[in-house]
Chains A and B, each alone.
Chain A
Amino acid sequence: TQLLEQSPQFLSIQEGENLTVYCNSSSVFSSLQWYRQEPGEGPVLLVTVVTGGEVKKLKRLTFQFGDARKDSSLHITAAQPGDTGLYLCAGARYGNKLVFGAGTILRVKS
């Protein structure tokens, strides 16, 4: 059983559509990160959220941390083919160790 449950596991959409990826847990995290990974490369950090209810925007990407710090969402507006990749959420519980969700594979078709 994953400590962090991501949904959906796979998403295939047309260019210009909006989408939301969810990351849920029954555990409380001191911080939560979102990463994007391309084939053959390591994950790259997109954002870190640390405060319950926090919202961060990165161009067309909006990240939200739940009020209870147990869940998070990633919303992409007007998706583009360059957004294609594997999106991973990761939560910090004790010190520096992160636990990762299984990931959401996003494919944006032109």
Chain B
Amino acid sequence: DAGITQSPRHKVTETGTPVTLRCHQTENHRYMYWYRQDPGHGLRLIHYSYGVKDTDKGEVSDGYSVSRSKTEDFLLTLESATSSQTSVYFCAITLGQGARSYGYTFGSGTRLTVV
């Protein structure tokens, strides 16, 4: 068990408010990722991190920012939530420590509703 925890599991927020989702891992993995999952689109990469303070954008990064001040925590922030950001958000880590991907371990997800 890779020990990856997402919080909160569910959140309802109002349009225009800031929201921060947290991903916590316990096994010192270097690579961490934030994805969103929407019907018909599968999982789409928002941002990823390859170490403390090292982050980069994914394919759907507009409206999102991330921070990684410690190895174990990767935070996703919606600066001003919009209804189009209603989704299920998943955090993931890469199995193994090498640069080549042999698969991810995912958290249980955060269901975010923006009203």
Residues on A close to B: CB < 8 A?
2, 4, 6, 30-31, 33, 40-45, 48, 50, 88, 90, 92, 95-103
CA distance A43 to B4 in the complex (A): 13
- Interface presence of B42 (CB below 8 A): yes
Please determine whether A97 and B43 come into contact, CB atoms closer than 8 angstroms.
Answer: no
Residues on B close to A: CB < 8 A?
31, 33, 35, 40-45, 48, 50, 58, 90, 92, 94-95, 99-109
- Partner of A48 from the list B41, B43, B103, B107 (CB cut-off 8 Å) is B103
Residue of B nearest to A50 (CB): B102
What would 10 more interface pairs be, CB under 8 Å, given A45-B105, A103-B42?
A2-B42, A40-B109, A88-B42, A90-B104, A92-B100, A95-B100, A95-B101, A96-B50, A97-B45, A98-B104
6 A–B contacts from the bound complex (CB under 8 Å): A33-B103, A33-B104, A43-B43, A92-B101, A95-B100, A98-B45
Residues of chain B with a CB closer than 8 A to A88's CB: 42-43
Please determine whether B90 and A31 come into contact, CB atoms closer than 8 angstroms.
Answer: no
A96-B31 CB under 8 A given contacts A31-B100, A45-B95: yes
A96-B100 CB under 8 A given contacts A43-B43, A102-B41: yes
CA distance A98 to B100 in the complex (A): 11
CA distance A43 to B42 in the complex (A): 11
CA distance A96 to B107 in the complex (A): 17
CA distance A40 to B88 in the complex (A): 9
Please determine whether B42 and A102 come into contact, CB atoms closer than 8 angstroms.
Answer: yes
CA distance A52 to B41 in the complex (A): 26
Residues of chain B with a CB closer than 8 A to A103's CB: 42
Q: Which of B31, B43, B94, B105 has the most CB of A within 10 A?
A: B43
Please determine whether A42 and B109 come into contact, CB atoms closer than 8 angstroms.
Answer: yes
Residues of chain B with a CB closer than 8 A to A30's CB: 100-101
